[in-house]
Amino acid sequence: MTKREKLSKNEIQSLQEFVGKCVMENVSFPPVQVGANRANIQEIMHNRSIESLGTYNDFLEKQSGKTSRVDRINGTDQEKKIDNSSVTYTEAVNNIDLIIKHKLYSEYKEKVSKRLKEINEKLNDMQSPAELKAKLKKEQKALESI
């Protein structure tokens, strides 16, 4: 079980600001496939697996580098924004990385909790040597009486 790090206070604040901005501006993120539906931040945070988020982040990173030829020629190429909002692709990629980190930590925390529960159950089921001796003597008497 690989140890995972919790989000720092700065990371939490950055993610909260990003999510707030996406909600307030009703940002809809581009689909990976042509004809697919656009996604809002809630769908990205809650309805996607870690693997899916990683793939989507790779897609967004590629999209952020696509500046139109005319903009490059005119020297007006700026950081691309998503869906005519103030959210840039770079900002989205960095914050989706934080979402992935948070999900990995949540999974880790759940696994640790489950393992602790298993250990506690095993410890509760274990018998002391005196209890084991008494149980064996009882079984011995039962077998001798046959």
Is the pLDDT assigned to residue 109 strictly greater than 60? yes
Is the pLDDT assigned to residue 77 strictly greater than 60? no
Residues 130 and 127: their CA atoms lie apart, in Å, by: 8
Mutual angle of helices 50-64 and 89-125, in 10-degree steps: 170
Query: 11 with 101: CB under 8 angstroms?
Result: yes
Could you tell me the pLDDT band of residue 82, with boundaries at 50, 70 and 90? confident
Query: 54 with 76: CB under 8 angstroms?
Result: no
Residues 142 and 136: their CA atoms lie apart, in Å, by: 10
Question: Between residues 124 and 5, which one has the greater pLDDT?
Answer: 5
Is the pLDDT assigned to residue 111 strictly greater than 80? yes
Q: Could you report the per-residue pLDDT of 21-30, keeping only the tens digit for each?
A: 999 999 999 9
Residues in CB range of 103: below 8 A, 6 or more apart: 50, 53
Tell me what percent of the chain is helix, strand and coil, each rounded to the nearest 5.
Answer: 65, 5, 30
State the average pLDDT over residues 107-119.
Answer: 90
Tokens of 54: 């990683």
Domain ranges for the chain:
9-144
State the average pLDDT over residues 15-22.
Answer: 96
State the average pLDDT over residues 36-52.
Answer: 93
